[in-house]
Amino acid sequence: QKEVEQNSGPLSVPEGAIASLNCTYSDRVSQSFFWYRQYSGKSPELIMSIYSNGDKEDGRFTAQLNKASQYVSLLIRDSQPSDSATYLCASTGSARQLTFGSGTQLTVLP
Amino acid sequence: DGGITQSPKYLFRKEGQNVTLSCEQNLNHDAMYWYRQDPGQGLRLIYYSQIVNDFQKGDIAEGYSVSREKKESFPLTVTSAQKNPTAFYLCASTAGLNTEAFFGQGTRLTVV
């Protein structure tokens, strides 16, 4: 079982809609969680970090963490075509390494 | 400006040849990582280092080697034992265990 798993996608949403990206993790010791956005051919860039249960909002982005259920999600409100990218979930766990999921490709249709 | 610099941006390797990818950071970060990314895939961990002169294997270390002689530098050697090295290689660093990772621009390696 992979340590970090994402809904594989691809995911398509119309412009202005809410995009929902999900991630589960297997290591209960995991303490920190990150969402990165990666455009084709580019390196990942950090969108959100979350460390405690609940919601964390930053502009159009909301990260949600539920440690009991071992999942973390990212909501993108008012999706724009420029949001079209691959979104990577990552966490640090007992192995003291930063582990990434396989990514979800999001397309926002104009 | 602080950041991570990877070089070269593009690299071509002949069969049976070792090549070294450079990664330098001036962020004063303790931890550094090397990831491999294949088309349409996520990031797979090759090696990581939490401190100078110490490093650990990641999930796909076979055919790769690293060194961490200086805090700023974490070069990755792709050896001839790596049979399918064509991929996008990303170097990252973090200030601590539970902090965000900063990435270099990546090196695209192609076997010719």
User: For A54-105, how does the pLDDT look when each residue is reduced to its tens digit (9 = 90+)?
Assistant: 999 999 999 999 999 999 999 999 999 999 999 999 998 776 788 899 999 9
**Which of B21, B46, B54, B98 to probe by mutation at the A interface, max A CB count within 10 Å?**
B98
- Does A7 contact B at CB distance below 8 Å? no
At B16 the pLDDT is 86
Q: Which residue has the higher pLDDT, B40 or A49?
A: A49
Each residue's pLDDT tens digit, A17-43:
999 999 999 888 888 999 999 999 999
> CA-nearest residue of chain A to B89?
A43
Task: Return the closest-CA partner of residue A63 out of A35, A91, A84.
Answer: A35
Residue showing tokens 């982005």:
A61
Instruction: Say which of A31, A41, A99 has its CB closest to residue B98.
Output: A31
Most distant CA pair in chain B: distance in Å? 39
At A98 the pLDDT is 86
Low-confidence ranges of chain B (pLDDT < 70): 1-2
CB atoms B103 and A88 under 8 Å: no
- Say if residue A1's pLDDT is above 60: no
Strand pairing partners for B57? B47
Task: Return the closest-CA partner of residue B91 out of B1, B7, B2.
Answer: B7
Residue showing tokens 């790769």:
B64
